[in-house]
Structure 1
Amino acid sequence: MTGMQPRISLITLGVRDIARAAAFYESLGLVRADGPDGVVAFDLLGQTLGLFDLEKLAEDIGVPIETLGVGGATLAHNLGSRAEVEALMLLAETAGARILKAPQEVFWGGYHGYFSDPDGHVWEIAHNPFSPLRQGDGAFRWQGYGAD
């Protein structure tokens, strides 16, 4: 095989306090999976979200911690309705998230808001009426799931 397959298997967030970060994501409803010492993992739909000590992550990569920073990237979580967006944003704020943009209509016809977790990782919580989620498991696909 050559090239990448169309998937992201693991998203690892470098965090300064693993216990605090794990408690934050657990309070949002994610369920912790067993992992090796020093790693907290949450199985998602087809991927895993990992939490790893920021200093150890820099060491593992072989770069100074300053080069990791918080860059111009967001993690998105799509939901089936505006009400679900409102509810999850409220839950995130209650869990300690900093609301960056309150839920609101978007120019392209969707509805979304942004928050940052305790380490500054930015999440978009969105409802895209043009990309219906897959029935049953809520999987997201850019063009949505129709009758297939």
Structure 2
Amino acid sequence: MKQALTLITLAVEDLPRALAFYRDGLGWTPGFTAGNIAFFQMNGVAFALFKQDEMAKELGRDIAARRGGIALAHNVESPEAVDALLSEIRKLEGGAILSEPVKREWGGYSGYFEDPDGHAWEVAWNPYWTLSPEGFVTI
């Protein structure tokens, strides 16, 4: 298997609500939406919102009660950009701040929010990583 990630799919309880959060709230543009799934083109990776019960059928297991040990991340160009983005998230219906941004022991600055389905997102500035204008990170 190649060391590559091509698609991240989040199970969502209410697809229209989740789509509104990401599209209208965060300003993302869906590349394709059909039935129970919506796809977004990211920086070389696709991102999908998939209706939870349909995803559970495909996986062959119950996922309604699962929560947790994963956080997605969005890196930005400065600590001020972390504050600005989390300030905007705070205003969105369905979004919630999980932890206020703070200087981290590893030298960066970050805070966390969750989407309407409880998926955790870190908004981070890392002084050791290069971030291109397109949002690509180099570690």
Q: What is the alpha-carbon distance in structure 2 between the residues aligned to residue 113 and residue 65 of structure 1?
A: 26
2:100 to 92, 102, 119: 102
Q: CA deviation at 1:66?
A: 4.3
Q: Deviations over 1:31-81 (max 9, x none)?
A: 1112332211111101111001111111111112346x1121100111111
After the TM superposition, which segments of 4 or more aligned residues of structure 1 sit over 6 Å from their partners? none
Q: What is the alpha-carbon distance in structure 2 between the residues aligned to residue 42 and residue 74 of structure 1?
A: 18
Identify the residue that residue 137 of structure 2 maps to in structure 1.
Answer: 140
Q: What is the alpha-carbon distance in structure 1 between the residues aligned to residue 112 and residue 64 of structure 2?
A: 24
Please identify, of 117-126 and 90-99, the stretch whose mean Cα deviation from structure 2 is larger.
Answer: 90-99
Identify the residue that residue 37 of structure 2 maps to in structure 1.
Answer: 39
1:91 to 84, 88, 92: 88
Q: CA deviation at 1:141?
A: 2.1
The one-letter code sitting in structure 2 at the alignment partner of 1:115 is F
More strand by share: 2
Identify the residue that residue 146 of structure 1 maps to in structure 2.
Answer: none
Partners of 2:36 and 2:54 within 8 A in 1? no
Structure whose CA Rg is larger: 1
The one-letter code sitting in structure 2 at the alignment partner of 1:45 is N
| TM-score, normalised by the number of residues in structure 2 | 0.92
Q: What is the alpha-carbon distance in structure 1 between the residues aligned to residue 115 and residue 64 of structure 2?
A: 19
Identify the residue that residue 51 of structure 1 maps to in structure 2.
Answer: 49
Flag the structure with more relative contact order, 1 or 2, with Cα contacts below 8 A and sequence separation at least 6.
2
Please identify, of 14-23 and 56-65, the stretch whose mean Cα deviation from structure 2 is larger.
Answer: 56-65
Identity of aligned residues (%): 38
How many residue pairs were aligned?
137
The one-letter code sitting in structure 1 at the alignment partner of 2:13 is R
In structure 2, runs of 5+ residues without a counterpart are: none
The one-letter code sitting in structure 1 at the alignment partner of 2:114 is S
The one-letter code sitting in structure 2 at the alignment partner of 1:72 is G
